[in-house]
Amino acid sequence: MTDLLGLEQAQARLLALAPLLPLESIPTEAALGRIIAEDIRAARTQPAADLSAMDGYALTPDEGPWTLVGESRAGAPFPGTLTPGECVRISTGAIVPQGADRVLLQEDAVRDESTVTATELPPPGRHIRLAGFDFRSGDLLLTRGTRITAGRMALALAAGHGQVTVTRPVRVAVMDSGDELASDPAHCLPHQIPASNAAMIAALIAPLGCEVVRIGPVPDDRAALAAALAQAEASDILITSGGASVGDHDLIKPALTDWGAQIAFWKIAIKPGKPLLVATRGSQVVLGLPGNPVSSFVTALLFALPLIRASQGDPDPLPKPETLRAGEDLPAVGPRREFLRAVRNGDHVRLAGSQDSSALSALAEADCLIDRPAHSPALHAGEPVPVFKLQNG
């Protein structure tokens, strides 16, 4: 196995090939899931003035009673300045008028026509959100390489940014190939299997905000593969599934060479997923995944998703493991690093059915992968194991 690349070495070589995409400015509200290409600093102060955190009365610093002289509500502040012994009715989010230094809760107030007294006097500053407590103009709020979530979108908008700069969406073509693949799962002959890998991969990467084009299924034929590859001319990344192994009918490598691609590396020391292929064609990156569905899924998780994230400008694109405890004994590992389909139960994890690379029922049950390094000894139930969540965010 000395000729096979290790996982981290292969990931590093792949990420070094990530295409550099042009930048575009888009409305902030359309940026969900995108990665910003420039730091975002506050263009305004939030809140811009002292605001009431509760409904009640804004008081001057007296013992009371106070004369009610008006109202301050959200969007309609009290226009004047309070003098000693005065107060205004105030609502949550309204500007605290000049001269007031606290807010009396309405449930702690006794109002008699135009006079307000307190059953419990709040201390100075109580129930007031001071100007700039959230952020001030010029503050660094989001750094380049940050993915926009709903909360970050709200932050950018509140900071005065109606537009953000992001990389344009990654254009990904996903192609599956093989004479055995039937395009219609409802009409599948005994010698065929329904084509599911491309659909699975497209579904896995779509939440990252890619522009995904499906190609195939394509038969094991050089001319058919050439025609299919021509459909991927405009893609930044081409992901293929099947045909990357060493059989007589595994034609992806020669077809890519005919297309003008250059093989960067082939085969990695993991199980499942050994026959992974990476090639380049100009700035395009080709990621050839194995045809077995579990192998295709595992390699997409470990390679396709990080490649897309890196192309989007994510500075930390690799999946992160967490440590759980084995829910059962695990056997020793051979010369290839193994990723076992598993199900989490609290802080323990158990295997999900068959570990065969074609077993979709176990993959569908699984919510994580147990990472077992090459040549690991047998592991007993209760011992710690690293685990990767099956997620694509």
Q: What residue segments make up the domains of the chain, in order of their start?
A: 7-21+168-312, 23-45+134-167, 51-129, 322-389
State the burial class of residue 126 (Cβ atoms within 10 Å of its Cβ: 0-12, 13-18, 19+). middle
pLDDT in tens, 52-71: 999 999 999 999 899 999 99
Per residue in 226-262, pLDDT (tens digit) is 999 999 999 999 999 986 655 544 688 899 999 999 9
Start-to-end CA distance of the chain, whole Å, equals 33
- At the top level of CATH, which class does the domain 322-389 belong to? mainly beta
CA distance 393 to 234: 25
Residue 286 and residue 266 in contact, taking contact as beta carbons nearer than 8 Å: no
The pLDDT tens digits of the residues spanning 115-131 come to: 999 999 999 999 999 99
For residue 373, the tally of other CB atoms under 10 A from its CB is 12
pTM over 0.75: yes
CATH number listed for the domain at residues 51-129: 2.170.190.11
Complete edge-to-edge strand list for the sheet that includes strand 109-112 = 102-105, 56-59, 86-90, 66-72, 115-118, 109-112
Q: How far is CA 103 from the centre of its chain?
A: 41
The percentage of the chain sitting over the pLDDT mark of 90, rounded to a whole number, equals 85
Model pLDDT for residues 319-349, shown as the tens digit of each residue: 999 999 999 999 999 999 999 999 999 999 9
Helix axes 222-230, 252-259, angle to 10 degrees: 50
Name the CATH topology of 23-45+134-167.
Molybdopterin biosynthesis moea protein, domain 2 (3.90.105)
Q: 323 or 194: which carries more pLDDT confidence?
A: 323
Q: What is the pLDDT of residue 181?
A: 87
Question: What tokens does 233 get?
Answer: 């001319």
CATH superfamily of 7-21+168-312: MoaB/Mog-like domain (3.40.980.10)
Residue 393 has pLDDT above 50, yes or no: no
